[in-house]
């Protein structure tokens, strides 16, 4: 069916509604609050319009329509850092640092790179950290071009749910992370190390460290890859995902507890993703009189 909501639309609309509500009641504390309110109101209205129109038979338009929650990840990520000011005028690094000490007996982010100062290892880990940006399009396009639309839609719902859950936590419980609170880690290497640092300097959202969305999303994508992709692709994605988790600590980008909780979020989201997708399909079907039991995905 071409028109109607998809499960991932509901996930994004829930997050967008949360952002709009946050801004209505706390806009005076948020930098560029009116702009963010206008942005998420527009996003919400656009997503709402999916109930009434669809891309028709155009495969390219359908791909962009069905991937919509991913195309608004970047503004949502930056909004998460800004909107936390509506609830708090501080960051919760002290609490996370104490939890890190309780769980790990110290701060692995502060000494991991010094303990293993090997350039090939450092470059490999930083390559994985940077490749995080490409994991979603890699698996998404792989499934879509293979004609595995059902698996593609489940992956979109699963990964989007993990991302937007993390973003909501960022707003409610902002944490800077060791990249801003500890001395910067001097990881050996140059090319990928420098590439990651330049990316962070130019595109990081402040207060979005706990839980690590890198670890959460990478873990969920790896689970989807193992379930839906051929073994070579699944193996590559899994290796990169493991590298991302290790790199978050090795490079000093996250407290170890950030990464651990991120992995747990990714595991829960990844393992329950198919069931969650079906639950949302059932709910969507129940809100559309005359719709088939299978819901708006047309499966």
**Contact (CB, 8 A) for 163 and 270:** no
**Contact (CB, 8 A) for 282 and 294:** no
Question: What pLDDT sits at residue 36?
Answer: 97
Q: Please state the pTM of the whole predicted model.
A: 0.92
Using CA atoms, how far apart are residues 189 and 182, in angstroms rounded to an integer?
A: 20
**Contact (CB, 8 A) for 228 and 155:** yes
For 120, other C-beta atoms within 10 Å of its C-beta total 9
Question: What pLDDT sits at residue 293?
Answer: 45
Q: Is 208 helix (H, G, I), strand (E, B) or coil?
A: strand
Question: What pLDDT sits at residue 272?
Answer: 97
The tokens of 256 are what? 């170890």
10-residue mean pLDDT series, the chain (299 residues): 85 97 94 96 95 80 93 96 96 97 95 93 95 94 94 98 98 95 87 88 89 98 97 97 97 96 98 97 82 46
Question: What pLDDT sits at residue 289?
Answer: 60
The tokens of 112 are what? 């991991």
Task: Quote the Cα angle for 67-136-258, to 5°.
Answer: 120
Strand partners, 245: none
């Amino acid at each position: 069916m071409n028109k109607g909501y998809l499960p991932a639309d509901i996930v994004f609309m829930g997050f967008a509604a949360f952002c709009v509500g946050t801004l209505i009641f706390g806009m005076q504390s948020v930098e560029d609050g009116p702009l963010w309110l206008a942005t998420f109101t527009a996003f919400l209205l656009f997503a709402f319009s999916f109930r009434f129109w669809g891309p028709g038979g155009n495969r390219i338009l359908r791909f962009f329509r069905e991937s919509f929650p991913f195309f608004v990840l970047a503004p949502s990520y930056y909004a998460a850092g800004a909107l936390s000011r509506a609830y708090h005028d501080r960051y919760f690094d002290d609490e996370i640092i104490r939890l890190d000490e309780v769980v790990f007996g110290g701060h692995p982010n502060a000494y991991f790179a010094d303990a293993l100062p090997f350039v090939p290892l450092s470059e490999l880990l930083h390559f994985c950290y940077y490749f995080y940006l490409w994991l979603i399009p890699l698996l998404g396009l792989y499934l879509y071009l293979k004609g595995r639309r059902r698996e593609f839609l489940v992956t979109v719902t699963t990964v989007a749910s993990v991302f937007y859950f993390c973003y909501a936590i960022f707003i409610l419980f902002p944490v800077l992370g060791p990249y801003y609170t500890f001395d910067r880690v001097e990881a050996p290497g140059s090319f990928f190390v420098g590439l990651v640092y330049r990316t962070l300097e130019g595109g990081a959202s402040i207060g979005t460290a706990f839980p690590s969305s890198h670890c959460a999303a990478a873990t969920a994508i790896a689970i989807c890859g193992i379930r839906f992709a051929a073994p070579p692709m699944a193996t590559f994605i899994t290796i990169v995902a493991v590298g991302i988790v290790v790199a978050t600590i090795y490079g000093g980008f996250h407290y170890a507890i950030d990464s651990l909780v991120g992995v747990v979020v990714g595991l829960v989201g990844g393992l329950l993703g198919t069931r969650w997708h079906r639950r949302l399909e059932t709910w969507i079907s129940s809100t559309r009189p005359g719709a088939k039991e299978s819901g708006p995905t047309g499966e």
